[in-house]
Amino acid sequence: MIMEQKLIITPKTKILDLITDYPELEEILFDISPAFKKLKNPVLRRTVARVTTLQQAALVGGIKVEDLVNRLRQVSGQGHLDTVVETHNYTSLQPVPIWFAADKVTRHLDAREMLNRGEHPVGQVLADLHNMPENEIYELIAPFFPAPLIDKASGIGFDNYVVEVSPEEFRVYFVRE
């Protein structure tokens, strides 16, 4: 008899994998942070939940990653993690970086339209960034903090600056490092 092995919950666990393997944790997520209730939207579930890790979700939800991971592990019957290392490359909630100037913003993408159509903007943004000249700034408008996209852009050499206009609008500015 082969036992089905359940997903082990860590900061790198993707949200969609988590709620697929542990559907009972979906309501727990919604209780932990109101920001997670956006995942009820089928479009965001198909796009964002597929690429967002618990570490990234904790940032979006405004909670400590160890609190989120350990709460989910507790409910699912997994043991407590004593050490959870947070790593991210976000300059959100920091002073305006020296490289930022509104007149250097040369390209824009409003990802809200793509997400509403069920499309994921990562490919478009990365293609746009690849073609960005040095010292020019790219502006992305998103309905949530796009942590996975910021991580990908950082991985290919882009710095970022995030402005939360409202809980439903984030403006992310990218520049080549």
Q: Would you state the CATH architecture of domain 102-176?
A: 2-Layer Sandwich (3.30)
Residue-averaged pLDDT of the chain: 83
User: What is the reported pLDDT for 162?
Assistant: 87
DSSP sequence for the chain:
-PPPPPPPP-TT-BHHHHHHH-TTHHHHHHHH-GGGGGGGSHHHHHHHHHH-BHHHHHHHHTS-HHHHHHHHHHHHTPPPPS---------TTSPPPTT--GGGEEEEEEHHHHHHTT--SHHHHHHHHHTPPTT-EEEEEESS--HHHHHHHHHTTEEEEEEEEETTEEEEEEEE-
Least confident piece of the model among 8-12, 26-30, 164-168: 164-168
Digit-coded pLDDT (tens) for 85-131:
555 555 445 678 899 999 999 999 999 888 877 788 888 999 999 99
Digit-coded pLDDT (tens) for 38-49:
788 777 787 778
Domain positions in the chain are: 15-76, 102-176
Average pLDDT for 142-167: 86
Average pLDDT for 14-33: 89
User: What is the reported pLDDT for 1?
Assistant: 47
Q: Is the pTM of this model over 0.75?
A: no
Digit-coded pLDDT (tens) for 49-93:
887 888 888 877 778 888 888 899 888 888 887 765 555 555 445
Closest CA to 143 of 109, 177, 175, 176: 109
